[in-house]
Structure 1
Amino acid sequence: MPVLEIDAVVFDVLGTLVDEPAGIRAGIRERAPALADPVVDDLVRRWQDHIEAEQRRIAGGDRPYVASDVLDREAAQVVADAAGIADPAALASSAWRLPPWPDAVAGLARLAGRFPLIGLSNAGRTALLRLNAHAGLRWHQALSAEDARAYKPDPAVYELAVAVSGGPPERLLMVAAHAWDLRGARGAGLRTAYVARPVGDPPASSDRFDLHATGLAELADRLGVPVR
């Protein structure tokens, strides 16, 4: 397969480069160490379900836009109420204390030797700054959906990356572990690469993404980036 002709690589962050459920799980464990594993797993699902439901309401016009920090505080309150955790504000900080996947930092460094890298996240500006610092992620540019006052897969979010790149969308490659994110990017004209993660949203049989990779090392190989 020929190497894609692209000018920059755009990365989703949550789930693609950092393990979001693991960070939330660790935050709950820190404040409620006696909880059984199935209970903690259920609380993590409640957190993520709240975020997804509220983002859908915002996308549907049923709620005005609020940044991810607000939604994380709400989700932390839901979990704190269910688990009897006394400090939901401290629990909310789990949303940016997310561990990187084992290949994330080295993979970004390798790709950065060939392409400009753009982070494009639904995380708000403050949360994105903190989670990038915590996980050790390095970018040429990090963009928050807060600047579009929308959440992916709204086209306005992908347009942030297109505007920054200064080129046409078909010269950008969107990388994500979520098929829904890649469908949105493809609808905005970007090229697409699915990277498999345990917590991602795998492609359906009808999806036609440009690249599929098991991780960032394989993605770099497919893009013709040498090992440094």
Structure 2
Amino acid sequence: MDPSGIEGISAGNTAPEAASPPRRRHGYNQTGPLRAGPRQKWPDPGRDQNPGVPHFISSRALTAAGFRLVTLSNGSAQIAGKLFSDAGITDEFESLLSVEDAPAWKPARGSYEYAAASTRTDPGSMLLVAVHPWDIHGAARAGLRTAWLNRAGDSYPAYFEAPDFTVSTLTELAPNLAATA
């Protein structure tokens, strides 16, 4: 595999279902929607957004390795843009795509085909990186390669298409991809 021929699509979930209580998401016990209000503030852009996941280091390692980075979110591109801006990583990404402009929400094939068309890339040359097994499954069925970011050490559901790579942090991804080149 040629590293410059793989496009990384980081799947974010800023959609309303991300706020459904109560459940454990990304290592946090979430009981309601995440909102910045008078008593809350968004994390400092110079600090990690998620403990144990150094996003700014991870994205820079991937771009330094020659990968193009694009996001595809079921949520708003505007919200993703704000989160990436606050984290100081917007410049690492070529595009912040949202299913708002796609024919369907993920995990429908049309959402991944929209990302491929938007980046002028063959789906088989793309790699979706996601924390959600349903997203991995949808991307694999659309012809993309996949990497599951398994932060919690969970078992991958056997009823979904298996990921091509499984990593516990984004910093592990670039070496794993380089090893298969």
Tell me the TM-score normalized by structure 2: 0.71
Q: Is the strand fraction higher in 1 or 2?
A: 2
Q: Following superposition of structure 1 onto structure 2, how do residues 64-79 of structure 1 map, counting pairs within 5 Å?
A: none
Shift of 1:146: 1.1
The match for 2:168 is 214
The match for 2:23 is none
Shift of 1:197: 2.0
Q: Following superposition of structure 1 onto structure 2, how do residues 80-91 of structure 1 map, counting pairs within 5 Å?
A: 91=37
* Residues 3, 178 of structure 2: 8 Å contact kept: no
- Find 1:100's aligned residue among 43, 49, 67: 49
* Count of aligned pairs between the two proteins: 157
The match for 1:112 is 63
Shift of 1:150: 3.7
CA gap 1:103/1:14 in 2 versus in 1, 3 angstroms: farther
* Residues 6, 173 of structure 1: 8 Å contact kept: no
* Residues 143, 161 of structure 1: 8 Å contact kept: yes
Q: Which stretches in structure 2 are left out of the alignment for 5+ residues?
A: 20-28
Query: For 1:191 and 1:14, how far apart are their aligned partners in 2?
Result: 19
* Residues 148, 157 of structure 1: 8 Å contact kept: yes
* Residues 195, 216 of structure 1: 8 Å contact kept: yes
CA gap 1:136/1:13 in 2 versus in 1, 3 angstroms: farther
Structure of higher CA gyration radius:
1
Query: For 2:63 and 2:57, how far apart are their aligned partners in 1?
Result: 10
Which one-letter code corresponds to 2:60 in the other structure?
A
The match for 2:97 is 143
Tell me the TM-score normalized by structure 1: 0.58
Q: Which stretches in structure 1 are left out of the alignment for 5+ residues?
A: 22-40, 48-71, 77-89
Query: For 1:132 and 1:205, how far apart are their aligned partners in 2?
Result: 32
* Residues 77, 96 of structure 2: 8 Å contact kept: no
Tell me how large the CA RMSD over aligned residues is. Answer: 3.3
* Residues 3, 67 of structure 2: 8 Å contact kept: no
